[in-house]
Amino acid sequence: MTGQQMTPPPRSQPAPAHRRVLAHGLYEARITLRNGEQLLVSLILPLLVLIGLHRAHVVTDVVPGIDTVAPGILCLAVMASAFTGAAIATGFERQYGVLAYLATTPLGATGLILGKSLAVLCVIAVQIIVLGGAGLVLGWSPEPVGLIWLFGVVVIGAAAFTALGLLLAGTVRAEATLAVANVAWVLMGAAGGAVLPLNHEGAGALLMLLPSAALGDAVRDATMNGHLAVIPVLILAAWALAAILAARKWFTWK
């Protein structure tokens, strides 16, 4: 064999970058939406919380009304898919060597992250349609102008939480990622200012720096008042930037 002359195989070419990212985004979104556990966290639990809080408001009046609760539930859903879902899926992909394999394909590291982000946005779109629709049925009446801000805030929030999720998944074991991501989601949802607004006075104001509180405030301001809450959006953007830089430094493929 050695030293023979032969026609070399044709040079293999990658598909164009946008096609690779689109293909991977849709591939991951399909996997997520077919996964029962992911659906439970992304849609069913937020839907149950929405209905539960609405019922509590009707009965006791201690819980705020649907106009406050519905945007909070959207935040809970965004955190579920962008943070918890992305972190757990990525953590196990890392454990099974899937990330390492995909990093050797034309998708590469950048395409993989962009594809995952696209998948998260696809899932969030489904969540907004389902949960927003349920909210409307229950009487939610968002400011129409604010819906434009809502989409912008959700994209920044998704970027921040996806980066945080990938940072977690890329630095600790899959089992630890599973535990931390679930606990963090419950804490941020219950007490982190995502579902219900926090008290802005005293030492509690420090909690406003949490990404969950920033997302909650920005989404509520958009849908209730039709405003863009600049400071919460800047806080979210700072979280996104910090998490992306940290993930670039510490994330390992296997």
Query: What is the rounded CA–CA span in Å between residue 133 and residue 155?
Result: 19
Q: Does 40 bind other proteins (CB under 8 A)?
A: no
Contacts of 195 (CB under 8 A, 6+ apart): 49, 53, 69, 72, 73, 75, 76, 189, 216
Closest to other proteins by CB, 21 or 243 = 21
Q: How far is the CB of 149 from other proteins (least distance, A)?
A: 35
Count interface residues toward other proteins (CB under 8 A): 40
Interacting residue with other proteins among 33, 92, 180, 196 (CB under 8 A)? 92
Q: How far is the CB of 3 from other proteins (least distance, A)?
A: 5
Contacts of 145 (CB under 8 A, 6+ apart): 226
Q: Does 11 bind other proteins (CB under 8 A)?
A: yes
Tell me 105's DSSP state: S
Residues from 60 through 79 that contact other proteins (CB under 8 A):
none
The string of DSSP letters for 106-122 reads: TTHHHHHHHHHHHHHHH
Q: Does 254 bind other proteins (CB under 8 A)?
A: yes
Closest CA to 115 of 4, 15, 45, 190: 15
Q: How far is the CB of 28 from other proteins (least distance, A)?
A: 9
Using CB under 8 A as the criterion, which residues of the chain lie in contact with other proteins when the complex forms? 1-15, 17, 19-20, 23-24, 27, 31, 35, 92-93, 96-98, 100-108, 111, 253-254
